[in-house]
Amino acid sequence: MNDNQLLRYSRHILLDEVGIEGQQRLLASHALIIGAGGLGSPVALYLGTAGVGHITIVDHDTVDVTNLQRQIAHNLSRVGQPKVTSAAHAIAAINPDVRVSALQERADADRLAELVAGADVVVDCSDNFSTRQAVNAACVKHHKPLVSGAAIGFDAQVSVFDSRDPAAPCYACLFPPDQPAEEVRCATMGVWAPLVGIIGSMQAAEALKLLAGVGTSLAGRLQMLDARDMSWTEIRAARDPDCPVCSAGPR
């Protein structure tokens, strides 16, 4: 690290659990973020400010004025721009040293497999069941840790699915692909603005812990939040031996 980096990341370096070695791991890391909306915004900003060296952001959508109630990486001047471009500008305004790959596309299974293979951690900030399943399948295939989050209305959930651990469940162990959940979207159901900030910040924290080698991840634990009374519920889960994704052959 140079002198500017030592100063910028000094509050991380002062943490015994992180130190110079942990910060250097962040600087050498590559994070893949799927989605640049309500969850992806705080994830992208916190990974950028923390000094993750390379961040790839994937989202097909453009910024709309209705996004600004909760998607904090965007602003009024960028309405109509690709969300990935807007998020890249937001990161650069805070930390221009971070390399951002902004991909405006709707990634299919083959493309996700390609993108996941080159990442050190994957953060799923998408808003639909099929994408979450495709991201999970790619992470299992390439043995990449997945940080998953979801939020709608006043309810949210967050967990880590780490296929490097043979005892840890994958996303499909908890949410079988042949039993799709009812799709609910912010456009029709609404979402409490700070909720995506809470969950997105937790996703960023989990991703940074994985990259820096700090603490214990949420692997095997699904945290669910009801923001009406700020109550948390934790569900513990193990790998499903009948899971069609992570138990469908050698890991």
Phi, psi at residue 80, to the nearest 5°? 95, -15
**Which is nearest to 115 in space by CA: 212, 33, 207, 40?**
33
For the CA atoms of 56, 61, 66, 71, what is the dihedral angle to 10 degrees? -10
Residue 36 contacts residue 86 (beta carbons within 8 Å): yes
Q: Which two tokens stand for residue 108?
A: 């299919």
Query: Both tokens of residue 232?
Result: 């948390």
The encoded tokens of residue 194 equal: 């700070």
Q: Report residue 230: phi and psi, to 5°.
A: 55, 45
Q: Where in the sequence numbering do the catalytic residues fall?
A: 186
